[in-house]
């Protein structure tokens, strides 16, 4: 039961929160958790299917709703919003990726109707969705099931009252025993084919409807009281021109539900075999953590055409755009647990390198500048303005697209992180270094030389988005420096190693002179002043009004109106910024500096961004602030289950989920790597007896049991790994178990 999440309350107003929490997906198709028996605006999300939209450039498309059904018993709707609910239970089984529903309704007629269902978004078959359900009534009567493909779906826009229909129907046809719809996005780029078949047994009358809302199967059955009637709705949804939805539907229907379910369960068994994390002594933490990982895993795309988005396949939040959330917050989990997925995400950046080059050029820079928000085509997708009123007279101006330049260094950083951890030389030599060279080139054109200061970077937004148009963001300048030095490193490596490395170098024509310039800039990049060991977030930050908040509070609503309405005039920051720098570039800072900066900034951070707590938590764990680290860990683990940010309905907070894993991995388990070995420094919260987890390091699959005074490591697969724990290094070989003990604790 540990991995089952049950919800027993029906409230139509909260359905959209459960819609996110109970989403099922396979990286390609996402089906939100809204009850199939009720109408909803949410259709289906398909990773990578976008269309033009006002203000947001391109947004992920709300594709036709395929999971919905309508049931009528003796003409009355089998619907909890309408009938008296005697029992209502929905259960998400994350081990098997199943969503089960169990209802008992009392109809107005007095009859009772039992409804049970289970749905899957097939793990191995990216186009397959299945809803199996059964109905039993307490009286004889007529049961009607309508099983539609609802094509009149629309995305809510900048106001929920404004809707954008992104698909046009090209075909609706009722075939012999299935229905078939074809729709196309308005921009013409994506054709979505859907075939669906509602299978049942016994004396069933079959019909269909076809109208402006879509097409649907209709089954009518004379049912006997207290007898259970079973149905399976098979659905295939294709999204490329060369796939045939009807053909695939016929194939899977032939295979049948039981075999398909087994495939699906086997798939998830494989996933959890490596991904599951056990926390002895804290079931609540374990549940929340694995719940978050489940949603993170579900959201990782099946290929490199699109990357992991900010809110997953769970909703329309941030329009399905890709942010640094992916490269910095989510990627480490995938890199360590499903490295192929991490590779896809980085490959997506590489695939869009030409667009990043265009972007740089358009903005007057050289090299490649990645867009702050990226959709299916890799162009800048950040809205410049979003209207605040219906008339569109009042706007909020958004500068992140123009100024939040650190994304470009973040992408380069992620390339290096991935390579160091996985050793994927093929990727790095062919793709990664090209990105690193081109992003360094961007920075070299982005900096300006200022007498007495060195190279400055003006008019940016750092991770802390409260302060716009700032000069010399600590985070940005240091990440730019890192990016330049990284490029220099690979310039040298390419010259030495030759092969693919050199080919990449030659492809982008980096000269010795250019590389030397990178070094010169990196060495002379201006770093904002430091007062009493605290780095200034950007030029002039320390001169702003000081205002402090409780580190355990969350968001802006706790602030007095005066402060809230003029945040930019204060030292309040939205999220980890200097601290994020110190986390990402930790080898450059000593503990004393990290602690000093943490102590300063934690009192000035609102955590209004869901990206804030993970970074602070990891650092808190490192510097011994266990309570705070644990508090943040638990908030991150329950961010969506408890709707802490009030916007869970828009999708799952995937950066937080990735960050949560990092708190455990880097923070509590203290796992680090320099690329050649793994170092483990356990600092588990008190109540945690142990953490058991697995990950891959340079092809070797490690299984670890970590306690504060004892660490056991087993290499399950792959080659030898050098492990350092409690000051001791040991070479761990496949299929042998190595244990480390903390000296002090042994002496006790």
Q: Which residues here bind a second copy, judged by CB under 8 A?
A: 12, 38-41, 51-55, 57, 72, 74-77, 79, 81-82, 107-109, 142, 144, 154, 157, 160-166, 168, 186-187, 205-213, 218-220, 387, 389-392
Please identify, using beta-carbon distances, which residue of 74 and 497 lies nearer to a second copy: 74
Closest separation between CB of residue 636 and a second copy, Å? Answer: 31
Nearer to a second copy, 39 or 499 (CB): 39
Contact 712, 705 (CB under 8 A): yes
For 181, the enclosing helix (H) or strand (E) is: strand 179-185
Sign of the C-alpha dihedral, residues 56, 61, 67, 70? positive
Judge whether 513 counts as a catalytic residue. no
Tell me how far apart the alpha carbons of residues 650 and 315 are, in angstroms, rounded to a whole number: 5
Q: How far apart are the first and last CA of the chain?
A: 38
Cα–Cα distance measured from residue 450 to residue 456, given in angstroms and rounded to the nearest whole number: 7
Task: Give the C-alpha separation, 735 to 548, whole Å.
Answer: 52
CA distance 76 to 142: 10
Burial class (CB in 10 A: 0-12, 13-18, 19+), 211: exposed
List, in sequence order, every residue forming a beta bridge with 732; answer none if it has no partner. Answer: 721
Which long-range CB contacts under 8 A does 668-677 form with residues at least 24 apart?
A: 668/621, 668/629, 668/633, 669/693, 669/704, 669/706, 670/621, 670/622, 671/695, 673/420, 673/421, 673/697, 674/420, 675/419, 675/420, 675/421, 675/423, 676/722, 677/721, 677/722, 677/723, 677/724, 677/729
Residue closer to a second copy by CB (options 72, 726) is: 72
Beta-ladder partners of 679: 672, 724
Quickly tell me which residue has 């388990």 as its tokens.
Answer: 669
CA distance 492 to 515: 9
Of the two residues 164 and 618, which places its CB atom closer to a second copy in the complex?
Answer: 164
> Alpha-carbon dihedral of residues 651, 654, 657, 659, nearest 10 degrees?
-140
From the candidates 15, 182, 438, 465, give the one annotated as an active-site residue: 465
| Cβ within 8 Å of residue 572, ≥6 positions away | 466, 547, 549, 559, 563, 604, 605, 606
| Closer of 214 and 432 to a second copy (Cβ) | 214
What are the residues whose beta carbons fall under 8 Å from the beta carbon of 79, sequence distance 6 or more? 37, 38, 70, 71, 105
Catalytic residues: 465
């Amino acid at each position: 039961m540990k991995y089952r999440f049950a919800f027993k309350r029906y409230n139509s107003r909260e359905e959209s929160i459960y819609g996110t929490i109970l989403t099922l997906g396979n990286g390609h198709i996402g089906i939100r958790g809204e009850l199939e028996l009720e109408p909803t605006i949410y259709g289906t999300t398909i990773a990578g299917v976008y269309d033009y939209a006002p203000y947001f450039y391109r947004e992920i498309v709300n594709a036709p709703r395929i999971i919905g059904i309508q049931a009528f018993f003796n003409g009355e709707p089998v619907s909890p919003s309408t009938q008296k609910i005697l029992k209502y239970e929905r259960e998400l089984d994350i081990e098997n990726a199943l969503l089960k529903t169990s209802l008992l309704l009392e109809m107005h007629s007095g009859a009772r109707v039992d409804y049970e269902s289970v749905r899957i978004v097939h793990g191995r078959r990216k186009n397959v969705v299945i809803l199996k359900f059964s109905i039993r009534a307490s009286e004889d009567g007529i049961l009607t099931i309508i099983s539609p493909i609802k094509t009149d779906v629309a995305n809510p826009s900048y106001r929920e009252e404004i809707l954008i229909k992104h698909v046009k129907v090209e075909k609706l046809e009722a075939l012999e025993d299935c229905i078939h719809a074809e729709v196309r996005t308005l921009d013409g780029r994506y054709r979505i084919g859907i075939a669906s078949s509602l299978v049942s047994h016994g004396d069933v009358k079959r019909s269909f409807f076809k109208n402006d809302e879509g097409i649907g199967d209709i089954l009518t059955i004379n049912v006997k009281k207290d007898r259970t009637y079973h149905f399976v709705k098979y659905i295939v949804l294709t999204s490329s021109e060369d796939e045939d939805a009807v053909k695939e539907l016929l194939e899977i229907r032939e295979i049948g539900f039981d075999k398909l379910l087994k495939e699906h369960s086997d798939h998830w068994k494989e996933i959890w075999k490596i991904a599951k994390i056990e926390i002895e002594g804290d079931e609540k933490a374990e549940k929340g953590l694995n719940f978050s990982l489940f949603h993170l895993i579900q959201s990782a795309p099946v290929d490199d055409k699109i990357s992991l988005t900010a809110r997953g396949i769970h909703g329309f939040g941030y329009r399905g755009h890709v942010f640094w959330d992916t490269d910095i917050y989510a990627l480490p989990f995938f890199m360590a647990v499903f490295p192929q997925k991490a590779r896809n995400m980085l490959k997506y950046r590489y695939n869009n390198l030409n667009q990043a080059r265009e972007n740089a050029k358009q903005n007057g820079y050289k090299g490649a500048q990645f867009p702050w928000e990226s959709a299916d085509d890799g162009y800048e997708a950040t809205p410049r303005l979003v209207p605040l009123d219906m008339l569109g007279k009042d706007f909020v101006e958004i500068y992140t697209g123009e100024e939040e330049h650190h994304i470009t260094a973040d992408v380069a950083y992620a390339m290096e992180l991935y390579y160091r951890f996985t050793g994927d030389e093929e990727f790095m030599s062919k793709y990664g270094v090209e990105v690193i060279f081109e992003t360094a080139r961007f920075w070299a054109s982005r900096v300006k030389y200022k007498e007495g200061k060195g190279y400055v970077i003006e008019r940016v937004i750092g991770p802390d988005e409260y302060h716009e148009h700032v000069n010399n963001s600590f985070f940005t300048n240091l990440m730019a420096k890192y990016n330049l030095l990284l490029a220099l490193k690979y310039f040298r490596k390419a010259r030495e190693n030759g092969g693919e490395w050199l080919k990449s170098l030659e492809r982008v024509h980096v000269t010795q002179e250019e590389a030397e310039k990178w070094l010169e800039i990196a060495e002379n990049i201006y770093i904002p002043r430091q007062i009493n060991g605290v780095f200034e977030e950007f030029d002039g930050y320390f001169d702003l009004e000081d205002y402090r908040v409780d580190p355990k509070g969350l968001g802006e609503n706790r602030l007095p109106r005066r402060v809230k309405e003029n945040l930019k005039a204060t030292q309040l920051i939205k999220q980890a910024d200097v601290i994020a720098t110190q986390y990402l570039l930790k080898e450059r800072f000593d503990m004393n500096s990290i602690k000093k900066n943490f102590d300063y900034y934690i009192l000035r951070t609102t955590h209004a961004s869901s990206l804030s707590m993970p970074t602070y938590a990891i650092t808190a764990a490192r510097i011994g602030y266990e309570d705070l680290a644990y508090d943040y860990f638990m908030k991150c683990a329950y961010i969506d289950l408890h709707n802490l940010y009030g916007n869970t309905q828009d999708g799952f907070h995937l950066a937080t989920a990735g960050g949560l894993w990092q708190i455990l991995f880097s923070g509590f388990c203290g796992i680090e790597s320099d690329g050649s070995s793994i170092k483990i420094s356990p600092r588990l919260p008190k109540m945690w007896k142990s953490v058991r987890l697995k990950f891959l390091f340079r092809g070797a699959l490690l299984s670890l049991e970590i306690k504060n005074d004892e660490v056991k490591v087993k290499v399950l697969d792959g080659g030898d790994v050098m492990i350092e724990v409690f000051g001791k290094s040991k070479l761990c070989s496949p299929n042998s178990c190595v244990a480390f003990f903390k000296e002090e604790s042994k002496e006790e």
